[in-house]
Amino acid sequence: MKTILFVPLRDYYQSRKRIWVKYLIPVVLGLLALAGALIFNGDEETVRSTFSEFVNVQINVVAILVSSSVAIISILVTADNANIKSLKEEMADSTQYKPVAGKPLSLFQILLSNIAYNVIVEIIYLVILIGVALIRPIIPLQVLKYIAAVCIFAIMHILGVLLESVAQMYLTFWRNR
């Protein structure tokens, strides 16, 4: 089962060129958040309360993102129109995407791998958030600040990939674009 679960992640990373670009903005924002959190020296109760609300909101948001990403996959795999057929036939730009297992990818495979990657990352992140919510009372205050920065990085990365997927879906159903 574990090999099946991580196939979309492996294919995603193997097929992308300049993958570091997708991490650049989330890393910068995460580091800025960390710097702000380390500079901010509020009382422990305020920091813990803010962190608790932050994690709770993220759990709700990520759960909604998972369901919308799964809906996008459903639309993609069940749609049977000329645009989807042309996506399956047209190969991806070799300047942006690498072949996987020696085979060039179609635009359909690129779109599907984006969305599948995002769903898996969202689910893993949701599990991590639930775990953090459960052990939050015993986590030292200083560690909470680092966790918050990692959370900001993760949510920004997820949103970035999701925005790319939504733009690709939009262009899929926009004739002659």
Q: Which residues contact 52 (CB under 8 A, 6 or more apart)?
A: 133, 136
Q: How far is C-alpha 35 from the chain's CA centre? A: 23
Dist CA 87 CA 68 (whole Å): 21
pTM, entire model: 0.86
Give pLDDT, residue 6.
Answer: 82
Q: How many residues does the chain have?
A: 177
Give the H or E element holding residue 176: none
Q: What are phi and psi of 100, to 5 degrees?
A: -115, 130
Dist CA 172 CA 150 (whole Å): 33
Burial class (CB in 10 A: 0-12, 13-18, 19+), 100: middle
Cα angle 38, 41, 42 (rounded to 5 degrees) comes to: 130
Dist CA 135 CA 51 (whole Å): 12
Give the H or E element holding residue 16: none
**pLDDT 10s digit of each residue in the chain, 177 long?**
567 878 888 888 888 888 888 899 999 999 999 999 888 877 888 888 989 999 999 999 999 999 988 988 888 888 777 777 877 888 887 777 888 888 888 888 888 888 999 999 999 999 999 999 999 989 998 899 999 999 999 999 999 998 888 887 777 777 565
Q: What are phi and psi of 102, to 5 degrees?
A: 80, 5
Q: What helix, strand, coil percent values describe the chain, rounded to 5? A: 80, 5, 20
Give pLDDT, residue 133.
Answer: 94
